[in-house]
Chains A and B, each alone.
Chain A
Amino acid sequence: MSTLPPLDQATQINLSREGGVAFLPGQRNSCSIALGSCSEDERARIRQALLSAAPKAQAADEAGRGDQRYFVILINFNDDAATEDVRLHVGEQEAPEELIRLWRERTGRR
């Protein structure tokens, strides 16, 4: 039985925070994590953040409604995975602690 690729085949994660009552170009913020350059521990933590965030994901035109902020997680997979990138939108209020912690560590933003 086929399924979506395991996260072991993910190569890179792009994390950004969007939404809010105005779009301010200078306040854009995001980070890229190349999983290959992470330690095994880091990879495990990132995997856990993604696994707890994924069930909270909303449709792209639901996230952000009414000026709510949300995280956009883009997961790139290697060629063996035979899948397109996965893009998840997770509302800030629903975002799991693991994801918020990852965001703060990687971007230095609140």
Chain B
Amino acid sequence: MHARNCLACVLPPYLLDHLAKHGHARLRTLAQNSLALDNQLRLRRTAIGRASTTLATARNTPPGQISRHVHTAESGSQLPGRLIRAEGQATTGDVAADEAYAYLGATYELFWEVFQRHSIDGAGLPLIGTVHYGQNYENAFWNGEQMVFGDGDGEIFNRFTIAIDIVGHELAHGVIEHETSLAYKGQSGALNESLADVFGTLVKQYHAKHSVEQADWLIGVGLFTDEVKATALRSMKAPGSAYDDPALGKDPQPGHMRDYVDTTEDNGGVHINSGIPNRAFYLAATAIGGYAWEKSGRIWYEALCDEGLWDTADFSQFAALTVDVAERLYGVGVEQQSVRQAWVDVGVIA
């Protein structure tokens, strides 16, 4: 056996687990032995993990009280980086830091004032953000503990804090993760992404006090520079219409099940097929009318928190859940019918 070059010596636990269940008999033995060792390590890690969670809980705030901590990575990749604006402190003059602070605030407001949810975990978890991550970094993400925003390259992308709904989207990933562990692939992954867009756009609409008619239903307006032909990252109203440019390609989002994209890229199209449930939300919200956060937002939020939302939920299971929730909240009426019709119109239910 080539000890130095042997992949099996360095393979991660999940692959060993897979081999232990599905591999050849002799491979299985090897994998099982490695797993036994790894489980001991894992137990130790869990103990360490608990200790740090306890620390985080100690800093939680009373209901209704927000706690923001905006850091700068100073173009590096160490997280969270250097704290530049803590809760209650004055503006810094750093545009990205002040945007992050303001939009984390707007996101907290939506969840607290509309859904009575006290931060990401419902128990006042401090909101940790880092700006100026990496060099010309073209992304924003939630890493399981905090939100991270790049500055963009300035040629295609502007800074990622420029769009309130992107900040809302990333924080919503934290909320979604606390409520469900929707597998990040295929339809359940696309639901995960769609929910982040739904709450991201609700943050934007609630902040602007826009009705369903006034809202633009676009995700990430301002993110692209004038150099590219793009209005936004995604359109919930008309998926597939957000951009068409040589550097970006054409927006690949479908708005109907007949155009569902089967792919291995993008975790099985999680940011692609999210167009379908996104459009369902748009259709339901506009049919119900008024402010989207009042009824359709409430229905989607209750569905997210419902115990009936499984890790492996597909579009039709989520659709059925939203119809049930609409009936539970508002009876059999225009709300329930609008939600049902929206899912019919995007081809998810018959």
Contact = CB atoms under 8 A, between A and B. Distances in A.
A51 B5 contact: yes
A21 B1 contact: no
Interface stretch (B51-59, B84-92, B96-104, B181-189): B181-189
Nearest to B271: A23
Contacts, number: 142
Contacts of A61: 183-185, 189, 267
Interface in A26-54: 26-28, 47, 50-51, 54
Contact of B7 (A54, A64, A66, A69): A54
**Contact residues on A (Cβ < 8 Å of other chain), bracket:** 35 or more
B129 interface: no
B265 A18 contact: yes
Contacts of B247: 26-27
A27 B270 CA distance: 16
A76 to B, nearest CB: 13
B278 to A, nearest CB: 12
B177 to A, nearest CB: 7
B36 interface: no
B173 A66 contact: yes
Contacts of B138: 20
A26 B267 contact: no
B77 interface: yes
Given A3-B1, A23-B252, A64-B184, 19 more contacts: A1-B30, A2-B27, A3-B27, A6-B7, A7-B5, A18-B266, A18-B267, A21-B141, A26-B245, A26-B246, A28-B249, A51-B5, A54-B7, A61-B183, A61-B185, A65-B184, A67-B140, A67-B141, A67-B169
